[in-house]
Amino acid sequence: MALVVMKFGGSSVGTPERMLRVANRIKEKQAEGNSCVVVVSAMGDTTDDLIDLSKQLNSNPPAREMDMLLTTGEQVSVALLSMTLHGLGVDAVSYTGWQAGMLTEPVHGKARIMDIKPERIHASLDAGKVVIVAGFQGMSESGEITTLGRGGSDTTAVALAAAVKADLCEIYTDVDGIYSTDPRIVKVARKLKEISYDEMLELANLGAAVLHPRAVEYAKHYNVNLVVRSSFTYNEGTSVKEDAVMEQGVVVSGIAYDKNVARISLLGVQDVPGQLAQVFGALSNEGVNVDIIVQSGALLNGEANFSFTVALSDLDKAVQVLEKLQEKLHYRGVESEQGLVKISIVGAGMVSNPGVAARMFQIISEQNVSIKMVSTSEIKVSCVIEREPLQDVIRALHTGFGLDSDEQAFVGGPSERR
C-alpha cells in the first residue's frame, strides 16, 4: 500500500461537476490500494472574488482580517469534496490547515511553514479515511490564522508529503505536465517526461506558473517524489526529481517568461563605499525584491549609473523609496521603464555546452529585438527585452534550440560556456 498526496487546484474543483470528477479520481486512487491525503485550493475564482469584495468595503483591509477571509475559500472546498466522497461511499474527513497541524511563522499574507504535526492525519489514515486538507493556510504559535501566499496550496501539498513520508505527491492541474514553454504561445511545445529539481526551480522562479518555487524548494530539500499531471485526463505527467535523465544532446529544457518586470536606473551614483548597500537595503526594508543588476560603467567625475529590475507591481513603491533616498545619497536622478519582459532559457545541459548564450543573443537579434539586460547562472540565461515581440522571440528560441521536435538542433559551440 502506498501513501499518496494529491493536490487539486481551483480550476479542478471550480464547479460541482468538476468536484465530482475529482472525487471519482480520488476514489479510484484509494481503490488501487493507496492511502490518500488530498490538498485542495479554493473553487475557481473564489479567492479573487473575496479580495474584490473586501476592497469594496475597505481599500486597505488589515492583513489579519484578510487571512481570516481568504482561508474560508479552501474551507468551502474541503467540506464540499468530503461530502461528495461520502456520497460515493468513500469515508473522508476534511481539515483546515491548522487542524492538520500546519504551523507557520507569524506573518499574514505570505507566511512560511515552520513545522507540521501530522498526528491527526495519521490517525485518520489508520482509520481508513481519505484525509482532505485545506491548502494555502496554517496557524502561528500564538493561534493566529495565516495564509501562505501565492502558490500556497502547492507548498502545502509538498510539505505534507514530506511530513507524512508519502511515497508520491501528485500535483493535479489544468495542464498535463511541464512543457518546454507555454503551449498557448508555441503550439508544438513538447511535454517533458521528467525534469530536475534545479531546472524546475529556475523555470518556476523565472515565470513558469505550473509549480510555485517554494513547493519545488521543499521537494528538493526533502527529496519528495513529485509528479505534475492533469486532473482532466489520465495522460502521463511530468516527474520532478533530483537526477532527471537528459535527452541525448539536449542543451535547453525549457523557456520561461515573466511580464511582471520593470527597470529602474539610478544616475550619477557616487563611487563611495556603502552607497549601494544603502540603496538596496532601503528597498529590502520595504519588501522590494531586486533581480538583475547592471553597472553601466564609471564616469569621469567618479560617478556611475546602475540599472536593476523589480517586479512591475513594486515599481511605484521602489521609485518612492529611491526618490526619498536621493536627498541623502545625492545621485543625480531616478528613471524607470515599463513595457518589458524577462525571457529565459533553462537547461542542465548548459553546464557542459559552450555557446548557449551567444546562440540566444543571435536568435533574439535576428528578430530585430534589442537586449536591455542579461543575467546568467550555470543552467539559465535571462534577457530583458521589450514586451511587444515576446511571442515571436519565444517561438524563434524554441525552434532555434531544437525544442519543436525530438531532434535537438543546437549542441553548443566553441565560444563560451553559456
Domain membership of residue 40 (yes or no) is yes
Task: Specify whether 164 is located in the same domain as 276.
Answer: no
pLDDT at 170 over 80: yes
H, E, C per residue of the chain: CCEEEEEECCHHHCCHHHHHHHHHHHHHHHHCCCEEEEEECCCCCHHHHHHHHHHHHCCCCCHHHHHHHHHHHHHHHHHHHHHHHHHCCCCEEEECCCCCCEEECCCCCCCCEEEECCHHHHHHHHCCCEEEEECCEEEECCCCEEECCCCHHHHHHHHHHHHCCCCEEEEEECCCCCECCCCCCCCCCCECCEEEHHHHHHHHHCCCCCCCHHHHHHHHHHCCCEEEEECCCCCCCEEEECCCCCCCCCCCCEEEEEEEEEEEEEEEEECCCCHHHHHHHHHHHCCCCEEEEEEEEECCCCEEEEEEEECHHHHHHHHHHHHHHHHHHCCCEEEEEEEEEEEEEECHHHHHCCCHHHHHHHHHHHCCCCCCEEEEECCEEEEEEECCCHHHHHHHHHHHCCCCCCCCCCCCCCCCCC
**Single residue among 133, 150, 174 that ends a domain in this structure:** 174
Mean pLDDT of 237-258: 83
Task: Specify whether 161 is located in the same domain as 296.
Answer: no
Domain membership of residue 221 (yes or no) is no
- What is the percent of the chain where pLDDT is above 70? 94
Q: What is the pTM of this model?
A: 0.85
Domain membership of residue 23 (yes or no) is yes
Task: Specify whether 167 is located in the same domain as 255.
Answer: no
pLDDT at 302 over 60: yes
pLDDT range class, residue 23, cuts 50, 70, 90: very high
Which CATH number is 295's domain given?
A: 3.30.2130.10
Which CATH number is 79's domain given?
A: 3.40.1160.10
pLDDT range class, residue 209, cuts 50, 70, 90: confident
Q: What pLDDT was estimated at residue 273?
A: 87
Mean pLDDT of 210-238: 92
pLDDT at 248 over 70: no
Domain hosting 163: range is: 3-174
**Single residue among 121, 142, 174 that ends a domain in this structure:** 174
Mean pLDDT of 142-154: 93
In total, how many domains does the chain have?
2
Q: What pLDDT was estimated at residue 1?
A: 78
Q: What pLDDT was estimated at residue 299?
A: 63
Mean pLDDT of 269-280: 89
pLDDT range class, residue 350, cuts 50, 70, 90: confident
pLDDT in tens, 107-138: 999 899 999 999 999 999 999 999 999 999 99
Mean pLDDT of 212-230: 93
**Single residue among 174, 208, 230 that ends a domain in this structure:** 174
Q: Output 308 or 404, whichever has higher pLDDT.
A: 308
Domain membership of residue 60 (yes or no) is yes
